[in-house]
Amino acid sequence: MSSKKVTGSKLDMTEVLNCHRVPTKLYEEVKHQMYMQLKNVQPNKLYTLKKMCGKEFWNGMNSWQQRMAGRAFAHMVVVGIFPFDFIKNKSPTKRYLLK
């Protein structure tokens, strides 16, 4: 599965999991942020995207952007851009474990 860029509207969109689309600019910003933050992620420790991205980056987005960032990152994990496993829990917030 790969990301597919969809154009033709005001915003370039990237198709992610379950036929959802997120703004390509946001997708790339999340990817860049995670590349920068990956060195801080420790093995055998559970993380949320919010914790991995850092407060400054995360709090700079509104709730819609945060949801889209979550979808973008989940897609990146599924396609193998980042080496994480999804960890199931009772919370709707996804948790990640470094492979």
pLDDT tens string 40-72: 999 999 999 999 999 999 999 999 999 999 999
Residue 4 or residue 56, greater confidence: 56
Q: Find the mean pLDDT for residues 32-36.
A: 96
Q: What is the pTM of this model?
A: 0.85
Angle (deg, nearest 10), helices 63-78 and 24-37: 70
**Local confidence band at 1 (pLDDT 50, 70, 90 cut-offs):** very low
Report d(CA 3, CA 46) in Å as an integer: 26
Domain layout of the chain by residue ranges: 4-41+54-82
pLDDT in the model for residue 27? 96
The amino acid occupying position 42 is: Q
pLDDT at 92 over 90: no
- Phi (first) and psi of residue 85, to 5 degrees: -110, 145
